[in-house]
Amino acid sequence: MSMRGGTCARHTSYWGWHARELRHLKGKEGSKRGIPAFPRRPLGRLARCETRNHGFEAVACADPTEMLEARHRMDAAPTRSARPRTGRIPPQGGELEPSPDALLIHRTLAEIGPVADKMTSYFYALVFTRHPEVRSMFPPAMDMQRDRLLKALLTAAEHIDDPDVLVPYLRRLGSGHRKYGTMAGHYPVVGEALISALARYAQLTWGPEPQAAWVRAYTAISQIMIDAAAEEERTSPPWWHAEVVSHDLRTPDIAVLTVRPDQPYPFVAGQYTSMETPWWPRVWRHYSFASAPRADGLLSFHVKAVPAGWVSNALVRHARPGDVLRLGPPAGSMVVDHSTDNGMLCLGGGTGIAPIKALIEDVAEHGERRPVEVFFGARCDNDLYDKDTLLGLQRSHPWLSVRPVVGEGLAGQLPQAVGEHGPWSSYDAFISGPSAMIRSGVDALKRIGIPGDRIRHDAVEELEAVGG
């Protein structure tokens, strides 16, 4: 969005301001508080990682030239693995044994499990009292998403031995955090609060060794996130502004919104974005793109106002042409594999039909002649708000078939409806909708013979974390 010409200026002033804050806090209070030592100096095999973490503060300097020089120094640092000690395969073969660090981390996690709520409150209280300047990066009311950051970090630590899962997850997390204004200098702040909160709530298992394991894990985690954010910074902005150009109320609760981003927004059909409205600053929700990329650059979304849903109600009931939203980067892998001509079995529940419509357009644009079979589930006829569009697409494309399925709980109708057609053994499946429907739908699809690795859907945790 054109309104974002000021990105650089915004960052430069933020860096300068934040650097002064960090120096002030470090010099005046950091050592007095007895904060567990967080790695800021090269130590043995973690040299690169810790040198670069130390670089947080070197980079967060008032002078942009100094900042760039610090970056170059960091880039020139010798490459060594930032990973903590990883698991090993036992001599007799079999399952991977957890690494010593993973064992210590899992013990701490088991201890804090029952007091997770208290630890979460304490963690954020530490972050905000030690560093009040970061409070404005979080929503005014923390109830709904206050534990998302901590949860993500604990999830990452839990999988510290599994780089195949961990690295893509953390890279997404690191790039996704750019829209909150997260900078490399914030990571030690969070790390110190994490260690303090663990020390307080895992007293039975805590000690120098678990602390060292957590510091190593967090150092590795934060470095992956910082690197991903830095890489993405070279090619894309942290967010896009997007002006609402049309708002079509299809039912009293469902609107189709079309927006114009202020600069090109690259994405693939089937993906989703995060969205912030002017009515609830710093509250972000995920919405799937309801169309494949268009020549005019416009983006469309289907939004249902859910009870007590801040963002969805604002979008359905208040948004009007001319309003300006913010969009985060695209995410999600529920996309068409154009290297095959496998048939596609698509299940869309409620507004979950939005990305399915984008997938149909994508197939049509690629000029493929693969069969695409869509089941559009809704609780009642009225909720089949996009039926006419889909039936119109069916009339234009002989390879497409659309079947509306009406009923409470697609769980029952789905196997029956899908089972009446098929066979599906050569199909790839796509499923999108309420998280419970995805769970039961995946089970149903496996039961009718579609292997798990051919069933695509968005992360259920992501859908659950953002309701409203």
Ligand X SMILES: NC(=O)C1=CN([C@@H]2O[C@H](COP(=O)(O)OP(=O)(O)OC[C@H]3O[C@@H](n4cnc5c(N)ncnc54)[C@H](O)[C@@H]3O)[C@@H](O)[C@H]2O)C=CC1
In whole angstroms, how close is the CB of 50 to ligand X at the nearest point? 39
Q: What are phi and psi of 327, to 5 degrees?
A: -120, 140
β-partners of residue 271 are: none
In whole angstroms, how close is the CB of 437 to ligand X at the nearest point? 4
CB atoms within 10 A of CB 276: 20
In whole angstroms, how close is the CB of 166 to ligand X at the nearest point? 23
Asked whether 403 and 392 are in contact (CB, 8 A), the reply is no
Q: 262 or 373: whose CB is closer to ligand X?
A: 373
Q: Which two tokens stand for residue 399?
A: 């390879």
User: Cβ contacts of residue 210 below 8 Å, gap of 6+?
Assistant: 104, 105, 107, 108, 198, 202
Could you say which residues in the range 281-300 bind ligand X, by CB under 6 A? 288
Rounded to whole angstroms, the Cα distance separating 19 from 185 reads 8
Q: 55 or 348: whose CB is closer to ligand X?
A: 348
In whole angstroms, how close is the CB of 436 to ligand X at the nearest point? 3
Q: Which two tokens stand for residue 259?
A: 């927006």
Which residue has 């801040």 as its token pair? 310
Q: Which of 247, 352, 445, 456 binds ligand X (CB under 6 A)?
A: 352
386 binding ligand X? (CB under 6 A): no
Rounded to whole angstroms, the Cα distance separating 42 from 37 reads 13
Q: Which of 222, 327, 432, 454 binds ligand X (CB under 6 A)?
A: 432
Q: 46 or 429: whose CB is closer to ligand X?
A: 429
The 9-48 contact track toward ligand X, x by CB under 6 A, reads ----------------------------------------
Q: Which of 434, 444, 454, 456 binds ligand X (CB under 6 A)?
A: 434
In whole angstroms, how close is the CB of 353 to ligand X at the nearest point? 8
Determine how β-strand 324-327 pairs with β-strand 272-276.
Answer: antiparallel
Could you say which residues in the range 312-351 bind ligand X, by CB under 6 A? 349-351
Q: 99 or 435: whose CB is closer to ligand X?
A: 435
Q: 22 or 346: whose CB is closer to ligand X?
A: 346
Q: Which residue is nearest to ligand X (CB)?
A: 350
In whole angstroms, how close is the CB of 138 to ligand X at the nearest point? 22
273 binding ligand X? (CB under 6 A): no
Q: What number of chain residues touch ligand X (CB under 6 A)?
A: 26
Q: 163 or 468: whose CB is closer to ligand X?
A: 468
Burial of residue 117 (CB within 10 Å: 0-12, 13-18, 19+) is exposed
The amino acid sitting at 436 is A
In whole angstroms, how close is the CB of 419 to ligand X at the nearest point? 16
Burial of residue 222 (CB within 10 Å: 0-12, 13-18, 19+) is buried
175 binding ligand X? (CB under 6 A): no
Q: Which two tokens stand for residue 31?
A: 């050592």
Which residue has 């073969």 as its token pair? 93
387 binding ligand X? (CB under 6 A): no
Which residue has 């404005």 as its token pair? 136
SS3 93: coil
Rounded to whole angstroms, the Cα distance separating 87 from 43 reads 21
How many helices (DSSP H) and strands (DSSP E) are in the chain? 15, 11
356 binding ligand X? (CB under 6 A): no
Interface stretch with ligand X, choices 31-39, 45-53, 237-245, 433-441 (CB under 6 A): 433-441
Could you say which residues in the range 435-464 bind ligand X, by CB under 6 A? 436-437, 440, 458, 463
410 binding ligand X? (CB under 6 A): yes
Q: Which two tokens stand for residue 227?
A: 């690197």
β-partners of residue 356 are: none
Provide the binding-site residues for ligand X, judged by CB under 6 A.
Answer: 272, 288, 304, 349-352, 354-355, 377-379, 383, 407-411, 432-434, 436-437, 440, 458, 463
